[in-house]
């Protein structure tokens, strides 16, 4: 089977389309701080509106633990979506209750309704398939077809992602189709040299993708908090830096495997070491094998790759034909420790080939640091989903749409 796309649903004029999106955007005091996921949904929504479909959007936001919580309301998203679409978006203050029922009943062709946060109902994420199916049936009552375009949740077996797509004719939206095209190129047909840059806090989150991609890449660059487990695996002291001691032997195995395959794993040669975690903490640059050689001693902690490493990483990235980057190089939210992440992001904009920012914190970082989306080949909307795809895992939200890896 192949992925079912919008074309497979036929003419949608006058038909009700329940559209599962990932509108899980960051909010601060009720204000959206990054609307990238909303903008990523626009091509599919405009395609449906232009056909005259009656669009019923469902999404989650945050983790409200199955009960309504005002700080996780999708109301600000409805307002921003209305601005971006240039037309009213009706917001229903519940998910499957009277407000949702009335809003859907009042729709005419081309109208858009956004239902309240799916996760205000515990059945959405229940481990009980029967509970999920019952909730999905209530959502299905609002539609004639289902369009699944929330790539950030396709690795989850949740009611609106999996069971709902089984109850009505269903297809992937344009965003999921685009994400899969890019990920397929990364795993099956990458142009070389092919470089993968991995960062973020925990090496355990990335072990699967390292193992799956090692035979496929030319260079693997390691930054972020995970770099300290790699340094420890080489026998270096890392002070109070983030360390997963239980992963040291596994990392040693990957270093040996890379050697065997002829893949270059590039580790930092210098690190920005701070006296404490904070923007105003005293900090110095030290060689990666001398992290404790500071006035802070063993209490010092590494919070970014150093300038020599940033320059070396940037050179490799800019010279590559295919680059996949997932995870910041340091604590980019704190200005003194953002330089490594900025250097990698800037190098990606100079890549003469396919440059992919792998969602999650990486996508947030490039926007927070002032880069525009169109400076990169592709910015994924799903960090976890991208990684699981690149690990070769089965993703239930894609399989239910006919996709087979």
Active-site amino acid positions: 37, 202, 360, 384
Q: Is 60 annotated as a binding residue?
A: yes
Query: How far does CA 297 lie from the centroid of its chain?
Result: 36
Ordered DSSP codes for 216-274: T-SEEEE-STTHHHHHHHTT---TTS---GGGHHHHHHHHHHHHHHT-EEE--SEEEEE
**Residue 339 CB contacts under 8 Å (≥ 6 apart), including other chains:** 272, 304, 307, 310, 330
330 is in an annotated binding site: no
Query: Is 397 annotated in some ligand binding site?
Result: no
Q: Is 302 annotated as a binding residue?
A: yes
How many Cβ atoms sit within 10 Å of the Cβ of residue 405?
A: 14
Task: Summarize the chain as % helix, strand, coil (round to 5).
Answer: 45, 15, 40
Does residue 85 have a known ligand-binding role? no
Is 50 annotated as a binding-site member? Answer: no
**Which of helix, strand or coil describes residue 113?**
strand
| Residue 156, annotated as binding a ligand | yes
Residue 97, annotated ligand binder?
no
54 annotated to bind ligand:
no
333 assigned ligand-binding residue: yes
State yes or no: 37 annotated in a binding site. Answer: yes
359 carries a ligand binding annotation: yes
The pair of structure tokens assigned to 111 is: 């109208």
Cβ atoms of 391 and 155 within 8 Å: the answer is: no
Residue 254 half-sphere exposure, CB side, CA atoms within 13 Å? 27
Residues in binding site: 22-24, 37, 60-63, 119, 156, 206, 302, 333, 359-362
Binding site as annotated, residues for substrate: 22-24, 37, 60-63, 119, 156
């Amino acid at each position: 089977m192949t992925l079912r796309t919008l074309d497979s649903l036929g003419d949608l004029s006058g038909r009700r389309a329940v559209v599962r999106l990932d509108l899980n955007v960051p909010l601060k005091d009720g204000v959206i701080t990054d609307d990238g996921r909303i903008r990523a949904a626009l091509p599919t929504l405009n395609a449906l509106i232009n056909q005259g479909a009656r669009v019923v959007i469902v999404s989650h936001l945050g983790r409200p633990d199955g009960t309504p919580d005002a700080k996780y309301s999708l109301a600000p998203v409805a307002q921003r979506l209305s601005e971006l679409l240039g037309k009213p978006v009706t917001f229903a203050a519940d998910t499957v209750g009277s407000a949702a029922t009335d809003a859907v009943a009042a729709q005419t062709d081309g109208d858009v309704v956004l239902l309240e946060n799916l996760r205000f109902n515990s059945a959405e994420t229940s481990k009980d398939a029967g509970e999920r199916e019952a909730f999905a049936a209530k959502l299905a009552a609002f539609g004639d077809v289902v369009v699944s375009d929330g790539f950030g949740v396709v690795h989850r077996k949740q009611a609106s992602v999996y069971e709902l797509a089984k109850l009505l004719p269903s297809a992937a939206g344009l965003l999921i189709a685009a994400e899969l095209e890019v990920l397929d190129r990364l795993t099956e047909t990458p142009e070389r040299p092919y470089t993968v840059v991995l960062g973020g806090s925990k090496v355990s989150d990335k072990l699967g993708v390292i193992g799956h991609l090692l035979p496929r890449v030319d260079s693997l660059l390691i930054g972020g908090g995970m770099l300290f487990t790699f340094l420890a695996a080489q026998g270096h002291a890392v002070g109070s830096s983030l360390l997963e001691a239980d992963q040291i032997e596994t990392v040693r195995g990957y270093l040996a495997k890379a050697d065997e395959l002829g893949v270059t794993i590039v580790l930092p040669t210098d690190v920005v070491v701070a006296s404490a975690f904070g923007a105003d903490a005293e900090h110095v640059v030290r060689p990666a094998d001398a992290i404790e050689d500071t006035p802070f001693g063993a209490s010092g902690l590494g919070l970014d790759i150093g300038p020599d490493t940033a320059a070396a990483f940037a050179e490799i990235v800019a010279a590559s034909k295919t680059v996949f980057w997932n995870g910041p190089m340091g604590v980019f939210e704190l200005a003194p420790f953002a330089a490594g992440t900025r250097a990698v992001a800037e190098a990606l904009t100079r890549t003469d080939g396919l440059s992919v920012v792998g969602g999650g914190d990486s996508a947030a970082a490039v926007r927070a640091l002032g880069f525009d989306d169109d400076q990169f080949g592709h910015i994924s909307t799903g960090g976890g989903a991208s990684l699981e795809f690149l690990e070769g895992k089965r993703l239930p939200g894609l399989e239910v749409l006919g996709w087979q890896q």
